[in-house]
Amino acid sequence: MQNEVVSREEWLKARRALLAKEKEATKLRDSVNAARLALPWVKVDKDYVFETPEGRKSLADLFDGRSQLLIYHFMLGPDWDAGCTGCSFLSDHVDGALPHLNHHDVTWVAVSRAPLDKIAAYKQRMGWKFPWVSSFGSDFNFDYHVSFSPEDLAKDKVFYNFTPMQPADANDELPGLSAFYRNDKGEVFHTYSSYARGPEELIGTLMILDRAPKGRNEDSTMNFVRRHDEYEEAAKAPSCCH
């Protein structure tokens, strides 16, 4: 379907009206960012242990000498054969940002419950370089409400995105992003988490598509997305992230 075709003068009038809305959105984003930075923090007192290629590490160790840590809760369960399509789509955008994040005192780490060998195999398949560790055997994913046991899914509700939801709408693994701060005394604080479509702005491809004539051109959220090595295949399965 083609949009209405108008004169350059009419287009300019419509574009200026849209520009006013874009400026409103930018100001709102600035306000939201300021409110995010002003959120209170929660001290992390629980000892979490992660399996990494360099051996077992604590949450504090994952900071890698920096004061800020971003953890992407990547959907790859212990019994999964491959990582979530949507999480893979987001993760395709990470490696290029790493030098900039690290220089700005921020460490990025992906965390999944899959064992380390399964993580390593999928990471190699995708060609990624960012740090990725396993929380298998830890409460970490459950405490941050991105993993759900069979017992959880058998209940009336599960807690995800700060809201009780129907287990039928959940999964054993769901996506999210959490932020942490480590002070000079080595104390770690949870500062922020975002779930569902919350981390969407990290996906640069979507931001580019939003400027294209057909936009995202999707029937449902990210249903067009495939793992980057699957686009030649004819599979039509939707993304597992909604």
Altogether, the residues listed in the chain come to a count of: 242
Kindly indicate the confidence band of residue 241, based on its pLDDT and cuts at 50, 70 and 90. low
Would you tell me how many other CB atoms lie within 10 Å of the CB of residue 38? 7
| H or E element that contains 182 | strand 176-182
Mean pLDDT across 151-164? 94
Burial class (CB in 10 A: 0-12, 13-18, 19+), 98: middle
Mean pLDDT across 2-30? 96
- What's the pLDDT tens digit per position in 166-220? 988 889 999 999 999 999 999 999 999 999 999 999 999 999 999 999 999 999 9
Residue 238: pLDDT over 60: no
Residue 57 bridge partners (DSSP): 50
Task: Write the CB contacts of 165 (distance below 8 Å, at least 6 apart in sequence).
Answer: 157, 158, 159
- Check: pTM over 0.95? Answer yes or no: no
Kindly indicate the confidence band of residue 239, based on its pLDDT and cuts at 50, 70 and 90. low
- What's the pLDDT tens digit per position in 31-54? 999 999 999 999 999 999 999 999
* Residue 192 Cα distances to 41, 82, 115, 176, angstroms: 8, 28, 26, 11
Strands 188-195 and 42-43: antiparallel
Q: What's the rounded Cα separation, in Å, for the pair 16 and 222? A: 29
